[in-house]
Amino acid sequence: MSTQVPEQVEDESSAESVSPGKQKRDAKKRERAERLQEQREAEAAEKARTADDTYHLKVFRYDPEVEGKQEPRFDDFYVPYKQGMTVLDALMWARDHYDSSLTFRHSCRQAICGSDALFVNGSQRLGCKTQLSDLSEPVRVEPLPHADVVKDLVVDMEHFYDQMEAVEPYFQTNSLPDEDEEQRQTRENREKVKMSTRCIWCSACMSSCNIAAGDNEYLGPAAINKAYRFAMDEREGEEMKQRRLEILEQEHGVWRCQTQFSCTEVCPKDIPLTEHIQELKREAIKNNLKFW
């Protein structure tokens, strides 16, 4: 699906070096064309509304900078259904054909960039990975809960990124291999961290987490999962693992998790987040428990 509507090509090159009479005529022509276009769009919208194979979307609208949109509301969009259409496709169609000011993030459209996590029919999902045919109508599309809305479906991700950065989400080690040697990981160890490497930073888990909603300092499932990915990586060495556990053991670290399984439920990459958090809790206990 294209982001550009092909019929809306406008000819603006003829504005210069023409007689005022022609300009006037052109202006009139353009006006007529615009009116026709509007009429055609209205007809298309009417047809879409009454047709059988359309999907009814209720989309959250809010914009603090536009007077008419300061009060949040839901707009209805009727989108003609094509086989394999996702929520993101439908939003793009609505934006291209009804309201070009409809704002949402998207980039790769294949569940890798993590830009289009939305609150669809009461649960956090990736717009590009959610088939319309799996949803009941009307499809309610809202921005992620528990986050500041910037405009329409766009939320402020700054807090989420801060939490991610807090766990130092990058490989670090003190035990480097010899020169001309690769830093190898055993197959078993790779298998252990496999699922945790799949995170795409979409913030769906963070948004679904009840605890993160109430406790702004809580690292959140995504950040803890990121920490798990490196803490469990044997190449980092004991010293680094100690350092990572010290971050996680803090008051707003792993111990905030109350195993509601909301994050695991919504994760679009099927990462067993709760399992990872629980494992880090056990690691933290083993780390501090001493018998003597």
Partner 1 sequence: MSQSYNRGLIEDFGRWREFSAGMWAWIFHKFTGWVLVGYLFTHIAVLSTALTSEAAYTTTIQALESLLVVRILEVGLLAVAVFHILNGLRLLFVDLGVGLEAQDKSFYASLILTGVIVVASVPTFLAGVSI
Interface positions with partner 1 (CB under 8 A)? 62, 64, 72, 122-123, 145-150, 159, 210, 213, 216, 258-262, 264-265, 272, 274-275, 278-279, 281-282
Q: Measured from the CB of residue 2, what is the shortest distance to partner 1 in angstroms?
A: 32
Show the beta-strand stretches assigned E in 68-172.
73-80, 117-120, 123-126, 139-142, 149-151, 154-155
Q: Report whether 104 contacts 116 (CB < 8 A).
A: yes
We find the least distance from the C-beta atom of residue 103 to partner 1, in angstroms, to be 14
Least gap, CB of 149 to partner 1 (angstroms): 5
Let me know: does 157 contact 105? Beta carbons within 8 Å: no
Closest to partner 1 by CB, 41 vs 63, is: 63
Residue nearer to partner 1 on the CB measure, 33 or 285 = 285
Handedness of CA 189, 192, 193, 194 (dihedral sign): positive
Q: How far is CA 130 from the centre of its chain?
A: 12
CB of 121 to partner 1, least distance (A): 8
Per-state percent for the chain, helix, strand, coil, to nearest 5 = 45, 10, 40
Whichever of 86 and 262 has its CB closer to partner 1, that residue is 262
Q: Buried b / exposed e across 44-72, counting CB within 10 Å, b at 16+?
A: eeeebeeeeebbebbbbbbbeeeeebeee
Q: Which is nearer to partner 1, 41 or 279 (CB)?
A: 279
> Which C-beta is closer to partner 1: that of 79 or that of 274?
274
Minimal distance, residue 210 CB to partner 1, in Å: 7
